[in-house]
Structure 1
């Protein structure tokens, strides 16, 4: 039995992906070189054959919590292998890449106020029920993609809404303050919010332009031709190399500076989940490619005490010293000594300011569990930075 899906690039028919004899085959049906499905899959006559779903298509599949919810509801009525999932999610995948599907998902609209000021303790569960099949999102954390209207006069926006379970308490608070550090350090981040009840971290989708059209986005798994289950393989040097390979010359210096700062912050806040899928690029076309905003930055050692970095850096998976990070900046990010020191200090200052903000929050906090969690977060933020 053959299964196939037609793929469009910016609404132009580009090719089709076929599952035949346990092999995934993608064929272009266009001769337009700008209608490439991935930066690593240029338009050509020869088929792209793979024993697993090609990384650019796999990038659209749900993982973790969302995957378990979808399998629970649909495994009895349809196949939920990779290709079955892609067919199931096809109608909801909106971006530079889309798929021909039999139906168009019904738009359900929320207001941003509903997310920021929840009146129901079960709001996230309600969102999952409404939006699970409309949420082609990777990552293990509970999350959904929701259409949101900020103000009556503004166009609809798409926001990723994340919650947390008992295994990772107060993850929304954790991500909100870690992302605040990233923003203060001058690194581009998506627009993000924390709900009043601290249960939801809300982040605006960053690949949609003001006119509603989509930018291309590819994570490092796709750029390195790796499957999603290989996201913890490789090194940060390989990411720097991918940045140098794919990012356009006019954006390269900024991309490498920002990547170095992201690495400093990930190390200092002890983010052990900065894997290949948590870095990526955005692009208008083959000549205009830049580093995507930073996302998914959290302190993981608050949950896994002896957690280690997701990837190797200079051959090590231990939390790196300042000297180690500065060396990485010079050897892999094309920075000089003065630049690495200046950028490192910007990150340390961003952490210091955020730590003070959290301490002020603790002073006025009535919830004991929140106070204890935030105090632990401050301890991480205030650890010696010059070791």
Structure 2
């Protein structure tokens, strides 16, 4: 299995069913492995029964997981927004973003290590943006009122992010 940041936890019926990760030899491939304790009733699909051997899929995500990725304009917009922030952004990355917000029997979530890594990036970016905003406010008095409100809103958002960690 690949490193922690390239894994997604897959649940079925509220039970942690297994792990979906990138292939070791080719990052475009994916591998799904069931947890050892998962029972047959918690299989992620009838076409993927619980077994010890991993399910490998070349060049992308297995269709079972791919069907949870948005299509059309929504997908285009998400790709546009995240592709600059996440190196090597692809369908696997997109599944990690939208997976926790799925309805139905299957669920997908990021590992704690990946969440902490992304949160640290957000904190760093917000801290730099607040510093730049403060410098801009000091040299442009006409921006003071709006800048003060932005700083307060950003500070509150950053405090919430840190509290979650």
Give the structure 2 partner of residue 63 of structure 1. Answer: 71
What TM-score do the two structures reach when normalised by structure 2? 0.57
Shift of residue 94, structure 1, vs aligned partner:
2.8
CA deviation vs aligned residue, 1:163-187 (integer Å, no higher than 9, x gap)? xxxxxxxxxxxxxxxxxxxxxxxxx
Partner of 1:48: 55
Tell me the SS of whatever aligns to 1:77.
coil
- Are 2:97 and 1:88 aligned? yes
Look up the match of 1:333.
none
**1:100 counterpart SS class:** strand
Given the superposition, is the C-alpha separation of residues 90 and 31 from structure 1 closer, same or farther in structure 2, using an over 3 Å criterion? closer
CA 1:74 to 1:31, structure 2 compared with 1: closer, same or farther past 3 Å?
closer
Is the CA contact 2:8–2:21 (under 8 Å) kept in the aligned structure 1? Answer: yes
Residue pair 2:31, 2:55 contacting (<8 A) in 1 also: yes
Q: Distance in 2 between matches of 1:99 and 1:16?
A: 9
Higher relative contact order (CA 8 A, sep 6+): 2
* 1:215-264 Cα distance to aligned partner (Å, 9 max, x none): xxxxxxxxxxxxxxxxxxxxxxxxxxxxxxxxxxxxxxxxxxxxxxxxxx
Q: TM-score, normalised by structure 1?
A: 0.25
Aligned counterpart, 1:6: 9
- Work out the CA distance in 2 between the residues paired with 1:90 and 1:61: 8
Counterparts of 2:101 and 2:94, CA distance in 1: 12
How large is the RMSD of aligned CA atoms in angstroms? 1.7
Matched with 2:151 is none
Contact 2:96 2:109 in 1 (8 A): no
Does residue 1:36 correspond to 2:43, yes or no?
Answer: yes
Aligned residue pairs, count: 103
Instruction: Report the equivalent of 1:26.
Output: 32
| Rg larger for | 1
1:71 Cα offset (Å): 1.2
Task: Give every structure 1 segment of 4 or more consecutive aligned residues whose post-TM-superposition deviation is greater than 4 Å.
Answer: none
Secondary structure class of the residue paired with 2:68: coil
Q: Is the partner of 1:16 in helix, strand or coil?
A: strand
